[in-house]
Amino acid sequence: MDQSKPISYAEFGHNFVRYVVTAERLRGEIETVLKAMIEGSVSKFPADLLVASYVFQLQDVDVLPITNKLPDVSFVMLIEGDLKLEVKLINLRLKFTLKVEIRLNIDVRTYAPLNLKLILHPVKDSQIRTEVDGHGLPSEVLEHLRIVGPIVREEIVREVNARIASPELVAATNIDVLQLAATAQLPGGAATTAEPLAQVSSDMKAGERDET
């Protein structure tokens, strides 16, 4: 990256959130939410398709800037993972993988004195993609397993939207920039505090969110 190129405050905001306040800050919360939403879908499966067990593996979390909204600062959080299911289908016990991709739209709001708030927008069905990995499975079995994708997608939409306003997620998306600056170490000098750089502020209440 060219460090001599002047940039706008809006572009600075994009860069700050993307490179300093990374998606890893929300990784644990997102993984917990995903596991809970898959759990909730079990009761909706038909009687001849029983989910015996599952393991969700979060593969990647990335933040992509939306530059066509400048000077507003907005991002898309791309979440990818594998849902490994063990399914009892009639008299067969099968293991297969359901690939899950979620796109979360995020706006950044600023608050006094130097606080950032990440606003996660409700997701729609079109922002969820699921795909059955049918490697090694007979075609007649795949026909039954294809019903899993829409069920999981429906639950993801419902559960993510229900959890966006949870206290844990609200706390994780409040960022105290003043605290970040206070802990930064200048060249040749010592940091002013031993607190971690990625300090999260939980002072802001959920009711103070600036929804649009």
Domain assignment present for 4? no
Which residues does 180 contact at the CB level (< 8 Å), separation at least 6? 20, 197, 198, 199
SS3 194: coil
Confidence grade of residue 23 (pLDDT, cut at 50, 70, 90):
low
Domain assignment present for 189? yes
Which percentage of the chain shows pLDDT scores above 70?
A: 65
- Specify whether the CB–CB gap between 62 and 21 falls below 8 A: no
**Domain count within the chain:** 1
Please give the structure tokens belonging to residue 98. 């359901």
Domain assignment present for 39? yes
58, exposed or middle or buried, with CB in 10 Å at 0-12, 13-18, 19+?
middle
Domain assignment present for 3? no
CATH of the domain at 187: 3.15.10
Domain assignment present for 107? yes
Domain assignment present for 79? yes
User: What is the span of the domain harbouring residue 80?
Assistant: 9-208
Domain assignment present for 2? no
Q: Average pLDDT for residues 57-75, to the nearest whole number? A: 77
Sign of CA dihedral 78, 151, 45, 97: negative
Domain assignment present for 24? yes
For the stretch 98-134, pLDDT in tens is 888 989 888 888 888 888 888 889 999 999 998 887 7
